[in-house]
A and B are shown apart, each in its own frame.
Chain A
Amino acid sequence: NAGVTQTPKFRVLKTGQSMTLLCAQDMNHEYMYWYRQDPGMGLRLIHYSVGEGTTAKGEVPDGYNVSRLKKQNFLLGLESAAPSQTSVYFCASSSGIAKNIQYFGAGTRLSVL
């Protein structure tokens, strides 16, 4: 049972480059989320999705785009990477809003030089 899988695990980008982070879940969850984790900041929600074909902005959406073309996948894109986007990115999914236990992937460590 894979749960939530994130690829890649590590990436180094130069300022201005673009990339896409992939999140895949095999639990048939409706809700998916992208967070970033920075020291002393906890987890901050970037974007989320409440179902296939839907996306919405979280707390810190600027500089990121997302897509949810298939229920099991949630993609996070950086169009023009900036050093401020150096962070650890986590994807999560949950089956419903009421109890909202989130299942997290192992994270992607991104450095932007």
Chain B
Amino acid sequence: AQSVAQPEDQVNVAEGNPLTVKCTYSVSGNPYLFWYVQYPNRGLQFLLKYITGDNLVKGSYGFEAEFNKSQTSFHLKKPSALVSDSALYFCAVRRWGSGGYQKVTFGTGTKLQVIP
């Protein structure tokens, strides 16, 4: 079984401050890890992914995420938050492997509120 935990329902941060949205995962074997963002009344949009290699992954809109295998975490970060970053953020995990469909499990989402 695989799972994703996003421990914070909501994160508030002042504009210009660094932000972190937390994600921990559980999966047998090596993981593929993803972050998606959902703006109001829209579908999810892909932000970034970790497959293998460098533990620091850079994505769209200035976001990055750090893969930490020992802590089974994949926290999303941005050095300086913008009001336009306010949205719902989803972490997702998929077990690394081949041979047929591999399910992707999404977290419950974290609402990011950037305060002007």
Contacts and interface: CB of A to CB of B under 8 A. Distances in A.
Given A50-B101, A100-B102, A106 B43 contact: yes
A107 B42 contact: yes
Contacts of A43: 44, 90, 106
B49 A99 contact: yes
Contacts, number: 56
Contact of B103 (A41, A45, A107): A45
Interface residues of B, number: 24
Interface of A: 4, 31, 40-43, 45, 48, 50, 56, 58, 90, 92, 97-107
A85 B65 CA distance: 35
B49 A102 contact: no
Nearest to B99: A97
Contacts of B101: 31, 48, 50, 56, 97
Interface string B62-104: 0000000000000000000000000000100010001011111
